[in-house]
Structure 1
C-alpha cells in the first residue's frame, strides 16, 4: 500500500541529511525540449531521430575534449506548447535560448560557440520524472504547478537533476544554483528570494559550476562571490565584493547511512561537508 511506502526524500529529511555541497559539478547545461513521455533514463532512451541523438552525443564529447563537463537535460512545458522546440544552453554564468520549428535547426547549434538569444530573467527547471524516481513526481509536480502559477512560461519540467532524495529539486538559471526540498508550501517565498537576486540559502544544494567543497564554502563567506580562486587541501579561497575570503572545509569522519533512491534496496555511505570561514 502507498501509505506503507518509504520515500527516499522523506527518509533524508528525517535523518537530517545536509544538502549543501551535493550538486553535481556541471560546466555547461544543455536543456533540450522533448515533449513525449519520458522513460527512466530519458536522455539515453528516447524517440528522437538518430541525427539528433548523434548531435547530442557529439556535443557532449566535444565539451569533454576541452575538459568541460556538459550535462544534458530534457525539458517540457505541457501547458505552453507553442509548436516549437526550445534549446537552452547555460555556460559562463549566462543563459542562451533558441526556438526552432524542427530539430534540424537545433542540430546546427554549436554548444561551445553558438551565440544564442540571451535570457536575463530567471528560468526554473523542476525535476518531475517519476519514471526515474517516485519522489521526483510526487513532490516535484506540485512545486512545478505552483511555480507555473507564479512565473508562467518561465518554469519547465526537467529530467533527473541528481539527488532524488532532495526532491523537489529546482535548478535556477542563469543563476546556476541547484536547490532542493523546495516544497510547494515554500515556493512563494522561494520565488520572491530568487527574483530579488538573492540566494534561497535554506534550499541551496550548490552552485553547479563549483566542486562540492566550494559549493559548501560559498555559503559561508560574508561577501558576494565573484570568483573561485583556488582549493588547496582543506581551504577554499574566493574573491568577493569584500575582498579575498577563505573557508576551511572538511568531510565528516563518520558517514551517514542514506537511501539515495526509492528503488534502492540498500543504503550507502554519505560524508557531509562542514567547515568555517
Structure 2
C-alpha cells in the first residue's frame, strides 16, 4: 500500500474547525481523515478475552466506565469482577450499553468469552452483586447481537457516524442491537462489536448495513469492515483477514501466524509497513501521528491436510 498523509487541505480544515468551535458546519472529522488516508483496519481491534456489557441508561460521560453515577456497591462489584478476570490471566473489558428507545424496568448484563454470549436480567443492579462468570443464573444467548459505539462525549465521530449506523442496524436486527460506549479506534467510526462472534468492525456505514448483516447472520466475517477478532493479537487479526477460509488459530510465533483452513494449514508472516501513515487519531487532536499498519509479507505457505 502506498502511504499517504491526510491532504494538507483536509488537515488544515480539521485544525480550523477546532478554532471555529464545535458547531462549525465545515468541521472535518477524524473518521473522514482516516478514510481519506487509506489506513487499513485489520489489526486494530482492542484485545479482549472477556467482554462484560452492563446496561446503564443515564447520559454517558467521556470516560463512562470510570466516571458515572452507579452506586458504590455496584461499582465495587464491577471492579472486583474485572480484577478477578485479570488475575486469571485473561484480558477483560467493561462496556456500558443501552437502547434509549425502549422503556423497561429490566437491567441487562451480558458476558461474552470464548465464542459464547450469556445474559442476566434483573430489576436494577442489586441482584447482580453475587454473580460470578460461571453462575447458572446466566442464560446462554445463541443469537447474534450488535453493539454500536455511539458515545459522542468521547469522540464526535462516535455520535455523528455511530447513531445512524445504530438506527440502520436496529431496523434489521431489532432488539439485538444496542448502543455501547467507547470501543477504541474513533477514526474507524462507525464501529460495531458483534457477539458472540467476538469481532470488531469499522466503517459500517448505514448504506452498507444490509449487506453487513446478511453476511454476519451466516456466521461469516464481513471482511471489508473487519478490524479484528478481539481474542486475537494484532498479528493474528491481520492474518485472519488475509487468509480466506481461516477457521482456527493454531499459533503465533513472532511474525508468523498459522491458521487451520479447510485445505490444511496456512502460515503467513505479518510485519509493520515500512512507510508510516500520518493519521489524526481522534476529533480532539490536531497534531498528526505516525502509524505503521501491520500487513502480510509474501504469499501464504500452505500445508495440505
C-alpha displacement of 1:89: 0.3
Matched with 1:2 is 24
C-alpha displacement of 1:224: 3.6
User: Is 2:253 aligned against 1:241?
Assistant: no
Change (3 A) 1:165 1:222: closer
C-alpha displacement of 1:239: 2.4
User: Is 2:176 aligned against 1:154?
Assistant: yes
Contact 1:224 1:242 in 2 (8 A): no
C-alpha displacement of 1:5: 1.2
Larger Rg: 2
Contact 2:105 2:124 in 1 (8 A): no
Q: If the length of structure 2 is used for normalisation, what is the TM-score?
A: 0.88
C-alpha displacement of 1:238: 1.8
Quick one: distance in 2 between partners of 1:242 and 1:71? 35
Partner SS state of residue 29, structure 1: strand
Large movers: runs of 4+ above 4 Å: none
Partner SS state of residue 202, structure 1: coil
Moved more, 255-264 or 245-254: 245-254
Matched with 1:265 is 286
Q: 1:39 aligns with which of 47, 55, 61?
A: 61
Matches within 5 A, 1:7-18: 7-18=29-40
User: Is 2:272 aligned against 1:251?
Assistant: yes
Matched with 1:232 is 253
Q: Deviations over 1:81-118 (max 9, x none)?
A: 3211000000111000011012011222113x224211
Quick one: distance in 2 between partners of 1:251 and 1:207? 19
Contact 2:157 2:187 in 1 (8 A): yes
Structure 2, unmatched stretches of 5+, are 1-22, 301-305
Q: 2:188 aligns with which of 154, 160, 166?
A: 166
Matched with 1:186 is 208
User: Is 2:88 aligned against 1:66?
Assistant: yes
Q: Deviations over 1:48-96 (max 9, x none)?
A: 0001111111111111111111000000001223211000000111000
C-alpha displacement of 1:198: 1.4
Q: Deviations over 1:212-260 (max 9, x none)?
A: 000000122242412x222112210122333222111111122211110
Quick one: distance in 2 between partners of 1:139 and 1:274? 27
User: Is 2:47 aligned against 1:25?
Assistant: yes
C-alpha displacement of 1:22: 0.2
Quick one: distance in 1 between partners of 2:67 and 2:87? 24
Quick one: distance in 1 between partners of 2:100 and 2:122? 17
Partner SS state of residue 204, structure 2: coil
Partner SS state of residue 44, structure 2: coil
User: Is 2:106 aligned against 1:84?
Assistant: yes
Moved more, 240-249 or 77-86: 240-249
Structure 1, unmatched stretches of 5+, are none
Q: How many residues matched?
A: 275
Contact 1:126 1:157 in 2 (8 A): yes
Contact 1:80 1:153 in 2 (8 A): no
C-alpha displacement of 1:267: 1.6
